[in-house]
Structure 1
């Protein structure tokens, strides 16, 4: 019985150590999909939508957005049909932050040029913990509605 106890204890110790630190699962792993900007109807303002997925085990926070096409990009949520500007959005561990029509969205203000359908707009997303993520956002028709 004593001969089995030592290998079992060694195996248990090795398994415990394997669970400590160094795991890729402990950091935010961010990716962006389904990004688009409906062609703006106004000369000075546009909206933007995208989905940020965090496959990591640590939550993060979207703290700001910039774009070469706008003087300012603000973030908004929509509660009870009313839109309000916010300074950040949580990106949950093993979850998503979704920007969609009628919900969370980006507002491109003080447009430097009016993007047209077929153009691509460069957007930089900045996070509290992760490095910045650059997104090439296609400009779709003003009435575009993703099927998801």
Structure 2
């Protein structure tokens, strides 16, 4: 394969769209992170972990499964869970299925912190993303990223 002739170079319009996407998603995530940190002392990554735990049966997920679902390394998840554990928001326990693995478990304090932070996060998402797109545009974004996730063999999150 000749890499110089097989490369599907982006058109000028595609390049603009790609760059707007890259800069826009980074800026959006950074702003949502700043708002959560300022109001609740939580990073957006910590918030997402709390969300995943809150949606899991018994508010508990194996650490390896949590890392995979967030596309984070196990060491990054371990470090973040340790921070959340020091704050009393999460604790670690043995996996109920086999007793060999370690699970992260959302505490009542963690659930309360998530409930408070959710208002800040959802207001930010609404102000910065939802208000800037029509329902049709949001549906297109959803369909595109469902295909991206499928191409990357990543599961979609439940609604």
Higher relative contact order (CA 8 A, sep 6+): 1
Determine which structure has the larger strand proportion and give its number: 1
Give me the TM-score of the superposition, normalised by structure 1.
0.24
Give me the TM-score of the superposition, normalised by structure 2.
0.23
Which structure has the bigger radius of gyration? 1
Determine which structure has the larger helix proportion and give its number: 2
